[in-house]
Amino acid sequence: MDQIAHPIRPEDIHSLTDFLRNHKEHVDRLGKTDRPELLTVNGQAKVIVQDANAYQRLLELANRMETIQSVRQALDSMDRGEGISLEDLDREIRAKHGLSDQTGATGTEGR
């Protein structure tokens, strides 16, 4: 199972200056821990840096969550009686694209 995104820990907070001076160590740590680092400028949070693989997993997780949310919204819509039946959708698509229906008609009658 894929790991989830890690929160920022106090030990993952560093100054941008330290990152620039010691970037090799930071990049090694990012790859080993899979945790992002928060970089600060003048004590203020400015940049998040993370390993490319960890970032890709984060994007995939966000995409899955968006898909789940969309499916939930669609199911809720259907529960409210909104939308159209699969048969009506099939007829609309066939009519729009001039495709034959199952009985051999062209789907363009009545236009």
**The domain that contains 43 carries what CATH number?**
3.40.1620.10
User: Which band of pLDDT confidence, cut at 50, 70 and 90, is reported for residue 3?
Assistant: low
Instruction: Tell whether the model's pLDDT for residue 108 goes beyond 70.
Output: no
In a domain, 89, yes or no: no
* Measured distance CA(84)–CA(105) in Å, rounded: 22
Q: How many domains are there within the chain?
A: 1
> What residue numbers bound the domain in which 22 lies?
10-79
Query: Cα 18 to the chain's mean position, in Å?
Result: 32
Judge whether 43 lies within some domain.
yes
pTM of the model: 0.61
Residue 107 main-chain phi, psi, to 5 deg: 80, 5
Give pairs for 6-15: CB < 8 Å, separation 24+: 6/33, 6/34, 6/35, 6/36, 6/54, 8/35, 8/36, 8/37, 8/38, 8/48, 9/35, 12/36, 12/37, 12/38, 13/37, 13/38, 13/40, 13/45, 14/38, 14/39, 14/40, 15/39, 15/40, 15/41
In a domain, 14, yes or no: yes
Q: What is the pLDDT of residues 71-93, one digit of tens each?
A: 999 999 989 988 888 899 999 99
